[in-house]
Structure 1
């Protein structure tokens, strides 16, 4: 008997621009996002949902949300989005009001919960107007605590700003302000299986409050990996990727990174018949 499974795609930091404009003048983020969507649609296993953890747009421009709406309309699965520091909670609520959970705003924030197969997605809003750092705030943290108490399903908590430090100094300085308060809320709940984050434009896995934080790379440009104390804020074009979070009763949540670019293969594994390799002599 085949056990039920849930597969959730996690993309982040698309930084979509109005048609014809590049991000930072050199990053064709719309093209990169289109390529990521094509990769997602070509997967052999169709995800049950797509989660985008913020910075869907680059400047929270209505034209950028229009690009997002058109692009995501071609994704044949539910799409769940939350704001990042480059988005705006009010703008996203206005422009994407019909997306799941977007209209469920409190105190200016967009946060909601939804069941996806055997797991529960808890989507949070860390946007601070006019600031690059993020904050959840007391109301959202209180709601998160009540939500985790109410349901013991395996939980994926999605937020743009990562609560754990990365060692990339210039990014850590614009992280989550109330990370300690978040840790206090989620630490007692063993069913929190993943924190899904963005913001840093790199694939990063770290522990936080006894949980696993998976930070997805951007679908476009990546932050330079520089762990020196005075690292400059720079980006490059390392291969783009996104995460796939797989859940079954046998495995719990398992996170896989899926690359966007085309690459050679697949090739079959096989043994060369009649060939004796050095060291294999009888």
Structure 2
């Protein structure tokens, strides 16, 4: 399987700008242009939350309109800028989301993709509590020998960017205890921080996908104020087409000079 991983598009109603400045809808179109030009085409697209900015019906209509361009399955989890009910309605036709409660899901295949909803309604931080941990533990136990990706929004670790670390996923010890019992978990995939980052976590690799919109400034001074840049957006590609460990590639979004016949 080849899995394209996008995150944090912060889509707006048609004609509106993200934070009144950035055309996040046009940037997402560029991401889809890059994605649909890939050869071979991905077997699946996953999106790691914050599909909308204010979770309005008009913004979810933008989500539906944009994703209609794709021929491959799309599986997404909510972020802190989404609402569960708006998200559930937007993806009702996909058939993989539960009708009530957290929007956990599991997509079966050569690689299992588990969507793990850690959002807290009305808050910006995430939370792994006992019911969520139990659900994840049971789901992982159903296929102990199959490579597995877990997709969640807020990372359960500190990044060193103080302004965003206040809104990390709480309950990291509980999550780590579950994952450490299931060595088939090859990736813990997050978004939220609008940057590419990776770190070891509970015996696996935690990787944050960049945003298709803006990048949170990499300010590692603990007292630095938060800010964002319009850095080149990017996506991740998780390549599990060959035997052995999954390979993850960082893919900038856009058109660039080349290709040239040297390497």
1:138 paired residue among 120, 130, 143: 130
Q: Of residues 243, 246, 254 in structure 1, which corresponds to 2:239? A: 246
C-alpha separation in 1, matches of 2:236 and 2:99: 27
1:46 match: 41
Q: Which residue in 2 is equivalent to 1:93?
A: 88
CA distance in 2 between partners of 1:25 and 1:160 (Å): 24
Q: Secondary structure at the match of 2:240?
A: strand
Equivalent in the alignment of 1:227: 220
8 Å contact from structure 1 (residues 7, 244) kept in 2:
yes
Q: 2:23 aligns with which of 20, 23, 28?
A: 28
Distance 1:233 1:99 in 2: 36
Q: Report if the CA contact (8 A) 2:118-2:127 is conserved.
A: yes
Aligned residues: 262
Contact 2:155/2:169 (<8 A) preserved: yes
Gaps of 5+ in 2: none
**Aligned alpha-carbon RMSD (Å):** 1.2
Q: 1:220 touches 1:237 (CA, 8 Å); kept in 2?
A: yes
Give the Cα separation in 2 of the matches to 1:100 and 1:266: 40
Partners of 1:197 and 1:137 lie apart in 2 by: 17
Cα separation, 2, equivalents of 1:179 and 1:105? 27
Structure with larger Rg: 1
- Alignment correspondent of 1:275: none
What pairs up with 1:44-83 in 2 under 5 angstroms? 44-83=39-78
The answer on whether the counterparts of 1:114 and 1:122 sit within 8 Å (CA) in structure 2 is yes
Alignment match of 2:254 (pick from 256, 261, 265): 261
Are the equivalent residues in 2 in contact too, given 1:164–1:207 (CA < 8 A)?
no
- Residue 154 (structure 2) pairs with residue 164 (structure 1): no
Normalising by the residue count of structure 1, what TM-score does the alignment of the two structures yield? 0.90
Aligned to 2:182: 189
Unaligned runs of 5+ in 1: 1-5, 271-282
CA distance in 1, matches of 2:29, 2:133: 34
> Could you say what secondary structure the match of 1:35 adopts?
helix
Contact conserved, 1:105 with 1:111, CA < 8 A, in 2?
no
Give 1:215's match in structure 2, choosing from 202, 208, 213: 208
Q: Deviations over 1:162-220 (max 9, x none)?
A: 11221111111100011111111111211000011100000111111111011000001
2:117 to 114, 117, 125: 125
Structure 1 segments of 4 or more deviating over 6 A? none
Deviations 1:91-135 (A, max 9, x none): 211232112422x145x210010124x100010111111111011
Q: Which moved more, 1:137-146 or 1:53-62?
A: 137-146
TM-score (norm 2): 0.96
Which range moved further: 251-260 or 51-60? 251-260
Cα deviation digits, residues 62-82 of structure 1 (max 9, x gap): 101101101101111000011
